Structures are given as C-alpha cells and as structure tokens.
Amino acid sequence: MAVNLELTQEKFQELDDYVDALPETKGELIKVLHKAQNIFEYLPKEVQIHVAKKLKVSTAKVFGVVTFYSFFTMEPKGEYDINVCLGTACYVRGAEKIAEAFSKELGISVGETSADGKFSITGLRCIGACGLAPVVTIGEKTYGRLTADMVKDILKDYK
Amino acid sequence: MSDINIIVDDKKVSVPAGSTVLEAAKAVGINVPTLCHLDLHDTKMINQSASCRVCVVEIEGRGNLAPSCATPVVDGMVVKTNTIRVMEARKTVLELMVSDHPKDCLACAKAGDCELQDLTERCGLKGDSISGKTMSTYKKDYTPSLIRDMDKCVMCRRCETMCNKVQKVGALSGINRGFDAVISAAFELPMEDTVCTHCGQCVAVCPTGALTEHDHTWKVVEAIADPTKTVIVQTAPAVRVAIGEEFGHEPGTIYTNKMVTALRKIGFDYIFDTDFAADLTIMEEGTELLARLQNFLDGGEGASLPILTSCCPAWVNFVESQFPELIDIPSTAKSPQQMFGAIAKSYFAEQLKIDRKDLVVVSVMPCLAKKYEANRDEFKVDGDADVNWVISTRELADLIKKLNINPDELEESEFDKPLGVATGAGVIFGTTGGVIEAAVRTAYELRTGKNLPKIDFEELRGFDGIRVATVDMDGLPINIGIAHGLGNAKDLLTEMRDGNPRNIHAVEVMACPGGCIGGAGQPYHHGDSSILKARQKAIYEVDKSLPIRKSHENPAIVELYEKYLGKPCGHLSHELLHTTYNIKEKV
C-alpha cells in the first residue's frame, strides 16, 4: 500500500510538537484535527482520544467535530480516492447514480475503502464546478458531465 | 447599567440591559412558548442553543423572525409575539419536528410529562399534516440507570449543555449532520462504556421521551407478589419532601408519613428509612474523618487530607473516571443506600432468621445513579446484590397510582423499627451541605467530649455552587468545602489537586444541583429552580422537628454497635460498611 497508515510514535510526536508550538490551544480543535489528518491520513479513535487529552477537551466533542465535517475521515482513504460531488447541481443531474455505479464496480459503499486499500469513494458537497455537473475528481483529475456507463472506463486508468 | 425600554404586544416593559426578548415578555406576563430553552438560574444552567425556533417573534424593522430566547433587547424595540406570521411559523416548526418523531405517545415513558406534547397541544397542531422520513435509526441504549431512545430526540441540546457545561462530565456531543444528527457519546459507544457518571441530569432536563430512567417498578411488584420473599423498602431523605408534588401538593410539602402508609399498602413487609443508614454513615465517615484529621495534625506518614464524602454514587463514578490522582482521598465509607443493604442482609436477615437471598431490599431514591451503584459488583455477595432494586421518587409515585392508592386519604404512620429509626442529621443528607453538617455535629462531640453549643451550622447551608466555611471544633478550626453539581465539584477538586491553597480539610460533594433534592429521579422541575429551594427548606424543617438531631444519639444505631458491629471502623464495620475505589479509564 502506498499510504502509510501506521499510528507510529513519531507521528504522535509530530502532532504534539505542532500543538505545543501553538500560541493558544483554546478554539483550535479544527486546526489541530486538520494537522492530525494530514499526519495520520485519517482520524481513528486513538488519534481522537489523543487530541482530546492534548487539548483538554472531551473525546465526545472531538468525535462531534470529526463526524460533522465531511472533510474529516475515520476511515483511511484509498490510494485513489474517488470524490463524487453530491452538491445540489450535481445531485439533480444524477450524481447519486454515478456514486452507485462506482460502488457497484468496486464493491464498496460511499465512505468506504476497498480491502486492498486501492480505492475509496467519498461523497462531497459542492466543489464549485457546477458547469461540469455531475462531476467526480480522482487525485488531480476531474471528470465532468458524467453518465453511469462512463464509470467502468474511468476506473480502467487506475486498475 | 440602565434599563432598556421595549414594547411587547403593546405593553411597555423596562428590563435590565442584556435581558432577552423572552425575559422581557415574561416580565409583563406574556408567556412565549419555548422548547429548547432552559434557564435554571440558581444553578447557572442555561441552554440557549436557539435550535428549535419555537419561541420566534416578530420584531419591527427586522425582516426575519427572531428567536426570543437568544435575542437581546435593544432600546425602542417593538415586539409582537402573536401575529399570524409568528403563529404560522411556530406551527410549521412543530409540524416538522413532529413529522419525524415516533408516534408512540400513548405508550411513551414520558407521556404526561412531555414538553413537546404540551407544545403541540398549545400551538394547535391538529393532525399530522407533514409526513416524511422517520428517524428510527438509533438503537436504544440501556444502562442500569437510564435509557436513551434517540429517535425521540429533538436536538434541543439541553442534555449536552447539562453534561458538558453544568456537570462538566463531557460524555455527550452533537454528532453527524442533517437527518443523521444526534446527541451521542464519543464513537457512539454505549453510555456505560463512557465517562458518563449516571447522574441522570440529562434525564432531568430532557423535554421529550428521548432520555428516561430505567424503570424497575415491575421488578418490585413481582418481588412483592412472590410468597417466598420478604420484601423491605428504604426511602431516601429527599424523597419525602418531593413525592407530594406528584399528588398535586406544593413543592416542599412534607409527605413522609402518608408515604410510609402508602408503602405499607403496596405490600412491603417492613418500611425502613435510609436516614437510619445515613446516621450509620456518619458514625463510620465521622470516625474516619477524625482519625485522618488526627493523623494529619500529628504529621503522620501518608496522611491525606482533605477527606471527600462518598455518599453520592455519581460523584464516586466521576472521581474514578476523571480524577485518578485523587482516588485515595474519598472516604471509604459506603453510601447510606449500600450501608442499609449490607446491614439489612446481615444483621436484619439474622434477626428474621432468613437467608439473605430470601430478603429483597428495595430502595426509593431521588437519584438515578443509585440504580447503577446498587448494581456494582462490590456490593454483591455471591451474585446477590445488597440492594436488589432501586426505584426513583417518580417511579414510586407511578406505582402508588398504578395500585389505585390515594395517599391523601391514608392515615399517617411511622417507619418500622429498627432500621427506620433516624435523626435530623440523617434527614439533612438530602440537601447540599447536609452530609457535612451531620458529620460535623457528630465529629465535634466525639472529638471534644462536649455538647454542641449550637446544632445548626448555618455557615454550611445555602445554594451557592461552591461554599467554603470554617467550623470551630472547640479551638481547632476545620476548613470545609462544599460543592453541588459536578461542574462545581470538578472546579473544587482541581483546586485540591493543585495544592489545596485554602487548606481545606473535608469536602462534601453532591453531583446534582441542590443535592439529592434536585436528583434526577425527583418529580420533573421543568426548569423551575424555586422548586428545589422549597424542597431544601422542607428538609431543614423536618430536621428541626425531630427530637434527636445527632447521628451518634440515634438509639437504634447505638444498639446496632452494641449488639452487632462493635465499634465504628472496627473489623465488622470494615467488612460490611466500607468499600474501595478503582481508577476507570474511559472516554
């Protein structure tokens, strides 16, 4: 697997160093979670508990923030993260069908990662490319005006 | 600060700056409906999430409707609380709220006490005009104390405010968004696996049936119906000054002796009093306090002060999960409920010549954490709990009603002997400051050998969240700290941990605002904190009315030590009446 998901001591140390360098930790939970996700690639329980202790806030609060913002993820993303925009414009032009097609092809639901760690599907709110609706991004690449039957071909590039 | 003048529904009103439109309306007798809003002034609990929008009003010059609970008054404001626009908005809000709410109101545990139900009635919701997706996605979560049925949650966030801001426990948070949004523990764990202390204050403020006590009344009925069992009951001090409310009496009505007769009618074999066990607690805890104090004064090794009271089960849970550094300082004395159970299943069972397993001990408590406490493994012998079933004040009232008993029509009667004999010191355990006052009454006389010049320690009483007072033990000044509400306790405890600058020797903590009188098993106060004060006043009245007001003068306690236990903190006492605490790492 290309992405290193191990929860190593070094990563926790890096996060602690970041927090210790903040002039004030109060009100910085979201910023710290961003950093944590950047370091660990995802936010498993262990990381959330660690952040809660470090910032002296309740774990419930950390979990509340992590589950509220779709940017944060408790599941490690795949090597190729398929971001399906589910914003209003994409939605009315059939984004749900596109998401379903990816799910069917890969055998995983939105929010999940394939067992080999290669693919994950993420549902996003508006990414600001409504003119291309329905739109999907994979890494740096953007695929616009999609139909469900195009999904198979797109995946060929990554398999 | 100068007052602000505004007009509400054509009435002029002058209120202090910083007041809300809701408060201004209330000041001129206009009762704007609310749902999420809750303001328990005396306990500094305020939920102002403005999330439900039930309290919206029209403000001249403002385009949109304003939530009156969270809109501060501005000079010259003109407010209308009953225009057609307001009423339509309010109705729509409620219709939407009801549209995804389970429709099992007839069978809901909160039926009759539900604020959502009251509102839909008041705001004229006739029929269900909006139908849509129903939540019904969350599993019910049961702990020994409470049940969370999140399908009935209206996201008012009162429980979250109570748990995080008032109690400072931090077990709850709003999670997810949209239809999936709900109040939950971290990682959606069952509450039992979290830092939840089972204090139940979330239940005390929940407007709907989302949070309720774990009802055990039927277990009690089954035990009474079983001819092979002897069933005895103990009632906690705070129950007697609150249960009358359930039968239409004013808050603060002393209902002790009607309640005792009602319990007899229900079919309990013996009606006993937790106050007796409170007196016993004082003997053990007071002796421990004096010993630890003496050791401290002598500069003894490992002398640890302050000593913390340990009667409150939610408080014990709180220390175990959040203050591992202080695990050694709570008194090892069991709570009165558990002392009662231990004595009932040894001393009293021996008197009756029956096996402890044939004796069923029932508690009536103002508290939900007592249910959790009774279920702890430390308080079981070969799987048999010292206290078998705990029901709340509300549950007892329900049981009385279920059995067609009208306590108002009953004769008054007294508790049975010997475990129903108690003093005024036992009664005041029901309010903040009471346990430590009872302890001081006894500790003073045991230490000095002199009679107390004055029984009432006014300096220990009151309603402030944290109180510190010095009691003169015949020349020896003892500094006492008192906290009620776990948030206040947390603040006081943090002070202890960080060096104890005020040199406090003994600390009393009660987890609930006001102490047990404000317990989560008491009749719902629906945000009216004057009810708690009325109950507190009644507690002190009961104390004053009793002939004996010091625990060590309780004749049944004296006899218990002479005949059975030996001396306080002696060998048998240690076995039966003391316990240990364990650090519990939880999230």
If you search the block for the tokens 């400051």, which residue do you land on?
B433
In sequence order, the β-bridge partners of residue B390 are B363
Q: Counting every residue, how long is chain B?
A: 587
Q: Is B378 a catalytic residue?
A: yes
Residue A47, both tokens: 């990381």
CA distance B151 to B212: 13
- Reduced to 3 states (helix: H, G, I; strand: E, B; else coil), residue B63 is coil
Q: Which of B496, B452, B505 is nearest to B294 (CA)?
A: B505
Q: Which of B38, B43, B67 is nearest to B55 (CA)?
A: B67
Alpha carbon A93 to chain centroid, angstroms = 23
Residue B43, both tokens: 């306990």
Which strands form B56-59's sheet, in the order they lie side by side?
A: B11-16, B3-8, B78-80, B56-59, B66-67
Q: Which of A25, A28, A48, A47 is nearest to B173 (CA)?
A: A48
CA distance B582 to B587: 16
pLDDT digits (tens, 9 = 90+) for B8-23: 999 999 999 999 999 9
The yes-or-no verdict on residue B259 having pLDDT over 70 is yes
Residue B554, both tokens: 């309780």
Residue A130, both tokens: 């409504």
Residue A41, both tokens: 């690639």
Q: Counting every residue, how long is chain A?
A: 159
Dihedral sign for Cα atoms in the order B390, B394, B398, B404: positive
In sequence order, the β-bridge partners of residue A138 are A82, A141
If you search the block for the tokens 């971290």, which residue do you land on?
B186
Of the pLDDT bands very low, low, confident and very high (cuts 50, 70, 90), residue B49 is: confident
DSSP category for residue B127 = S
Contacts of residue A57 in chain B, CB cutoff 8 Å?
170
Q: Are B186 and A59 inside 8 Å of each other by CB? A: yes
The yes-or-no verdict on residue B387 having pLDDT over 80 is yes
Core vs surface per residue A107-136: b (16+ CB within 10 A) or e: ebebebbeeebebbbbbbeebebbebbbbb
Which of B164, B187, B195 is opposite residue A63, by nearest beta carbon?
B187
pLDDT for the residue numbered A2: 47
CA distance B389 to B231: 11
Q: Which of B52, B108, B311, B367 is catalytic?
A: B311
Q: Is B331 a catalytic residue?
A: yes
Helices vs strands, H then E, count in chain A:
7, 4
Which of A45, A58, A67 is opposite residue B175, by nearest beta carbon?
A67
Q: Which of B36, B69, B105, B516 is catalytic?
A: B516
CA distance B141 to B179: 19
End-to-end CA distance of chain B: 44
pLDDT for the residue numbered B356: 97
Dihedral in degrees, nearest 10, Cα atoms B446, B448, B454, B459: -90
Dihedral in degrees, nearest 10, Cα atoms B566, B570, B573, B575: -130
CA angle (B322, B328, B334) in 5-degree steps: 90
pLDDT for the residue numbered B186: 97
Domain boundaries, chain A: 9-68, 80-156
DSSP labels for B495-539?
A: HHHTT-TT---EEEEESSTTSGGG-TTSPP-TT-THHHHHHHHHH
| Averaged pLDDT for residues B166-194 | 93
Q: Are A67 and B176 inside 8 Å of each other by CB? A: yes
The distance of B153 to chain A (nearest Cα, Å) reads 16
The yes-or-no verdict on residue A3 having pLDDT over 60 is no
Q: Which of B110, B258, B345, B370 is catalytic?
A: B370
| Averaged pLDDT for residues A107-133 | 90
CA distance A158 to B192: 45
Q: Is B69 a catalytic residue?
A: no
- Reduced to 3 states (helix: H, G, I; strand: E, B; else coil), residue B146 is strand
DSSP labels for B302-359?
A: T----EE----HHHHHHHHHH-GGGTT-B--BPPHHHHHHHHIIIIIHHHHT--GGGE
The yes-or-no verdict on residue A1 having pLDDT over 60 is no
Alpha carbon A57 to chain centroid, angstroms = 24
ipTM of the complex: 0.88
The superfamily CATH assigns to domain A80-156 is Glutaredoxin (3.40.30.10)
H or E element at residue B45: strand B45-47
Minimum Cα–Cα distance from B187: chain A residue:
A63
The maximal CA–CA distance of chain B, rounded, in angstroms, is: 80
- Reduced to 3 states (helix: H, G, I; strand: E, B; else coil), residue B312 is coil
Is the distance from CB of B540 to CB of B428 less than 8 angstroms?
yes
Is A68 touching B (CB cutoff 8 A)?
yes
CA distance B59 to B6: 11
The yes-or-no verdict on residue B385 having pLDDT over 70 is yes
| Averaged pLDDT for residues B489-504 | 92
B578's CB contacts (< 8 A; 6+ apart) are: B284, B332, B333, B334, B569
| Averaged pLDDT for residues A33-61 | 96
Q: What count of other Cβ atoms lies within 10 Å of the Cβ of residue B458? A: 10
Contacts of residue B494 in chain A, CB cutoff 8 Å?
none
Which one of A29, A47, A53, A58 makes the best mutation probe of the B interface by having the most chain B beta carbons within 10 Å?
A: A58
Crossing angle of helices B217-225 and B393-402, rounded to 10°? 50
pLDDT for the residue numbered B474: 86
Crossing angle of helices A29-40 and A9-21, rounded to 10°? 150
The distance of A61 to chain B (nearest Cα, Å) reads 5
DSSP labels for A49-100?
A: HHHHHHHT--HHHHHHHHHH-TT--SSPPPSEEEEEE-SHHHHHTTHHHHHH
The strand pair at B3-8 and B78-80 is best described as parallel
The B residues from 143 to 172 touching A (CB cutoff 8 Å) are 164, 169-172
Residue B362, both tokens: 């029932």
pLDDT for the residue numbered A150: 95
pLDDT for the residue numbered A124: 86
CA distances from B420 to B217, B354, B507 (A): 22, 19, 28
pLDDT for the residue numbered B135: 59
Is A67 touching B (CB cutoff 8 A)?
yes
pLDDT for the residue numbered B327: 92
Q: Which of B160, B245, B373, B445 is catalytic?
A: B373
Q: Is B285 a catalytic residue?
A: yes
Minimum Cα–Cα distance from A63: chain B residue:
B186
| Averaged pLDDT for residues A67-78 | 89
Q: Which of B222, B350, B378, B562 is catalytic?
A: B378
pLDDT for the residue numbered B462: 93
pLDDT digits (tens, 9 = 90+) for B508-524: 999 999 999 999 999 99
Q: Are B184 and A63 inside 8 Å of each other by CB? A: yes
Q: Is B145 a catalytic residue?
A: no
pLDDT for the residue numbered B128: 59
pLDDT digits (tens, 9 = 90+) for B299-348: 877 767 899 999 999 999 999 999 998 999 999 999 999 999 999 999 99
- Reduced to 3 states (helix: H, G, I; strand: E, B; else coil), residue B363 is strand
- Reduced to 3 states (helix: H, G, I; strand: E, B; else coil), residue B584 is coil
Torsions phi, psi for B317 (to 5 deg): -60, -40
How crowded is the C-beta side of B366, counted as CA atoms within 13 Å?
A: 29
| Averaged pLDDT for residues B29-48 | 85
H or E element at residue B480: strand B476-484
Across chain B, mean pLDDT equals 94
Torsions phi, psi for B3 (to 5 deg): -80, 155
How crowded is the C-beta side of B536, counted as CA atoms within 13 Å?
A: 17
- Reduced to 3 states (helix: H, G, I; strand: E, B; else coil), residue A107 is coil
Q: Are B174 and A64 inside 8 Å of each other by CB? A: yes
How crowded is the C-beta side of B446, counted as CA atoms within 13 Å?
A: 22
The yes-or-no verdict on residue B451 having pLDDT over 60 is yes
The strand pair at B11-16 and B3-8 is best described as antiparallel
The yes-or-no verdict on residue B4 having pLDDT over 60 is yes
CA distances from B44 to B72, B495, B537 (A): 18, 20, 20
Is B487 touching A (CB cutoff 8 A)?
no
Torsions phi, psi for B381 (to 5 deg): -120, 120
pLDDT digits (tens, 9 = 90+) for B53-101: 999 999 999 999 999 999 999 999 999 999 999 999 999 999 998 888 8
pLDDT digits (tens, 9 = 90+) for B399-427: 999 999 999 999 999 999 999 999 999 99
Q: Is B516 a catalytic residue?
A: yes
The yes-or-no verdict on residue B394 having pLDDT over 80 is yes
Q: What count of other Cβ atoms lies within 10 Å of the Cβ of residue B177? A: 11
| Averaged pLDDT for residues B232-248 | 98
Which one of B166, B169, B173, B498 makes the best mutation probe of the A interface by having the most chain A beta carbons within 10 Å?
A: B173
Minimum Cα–Cα distance from B184: chain A residue:
A60
- Reduced to 3 states (helix: H, G, I; strand: E, B; else coil), residue B549 is coil
Torsions phi, psi for B147 (to 5 deg): -125, 130
Q: What count of other Cβ atoms lies within 10 Å of the Cβ of residue B475? A: 6
Of the pLDDT bands very low, low, confident and very high (cuts 50, 70, 90), residue B136 is: low
CA distance B13 to B27: 7
CA distance B363 to B233: 6
The distance of B330 to chain A (nearest Cα, Å) reads 24
Is the distance from CB of A149 to CB of A109 less than 8 angstroms?
no
What B224-227 contacts at long range (C-beta under 8 Å, 24+ apart), as own/partner pairs, is B224/B266, B224/B267, B224/B268
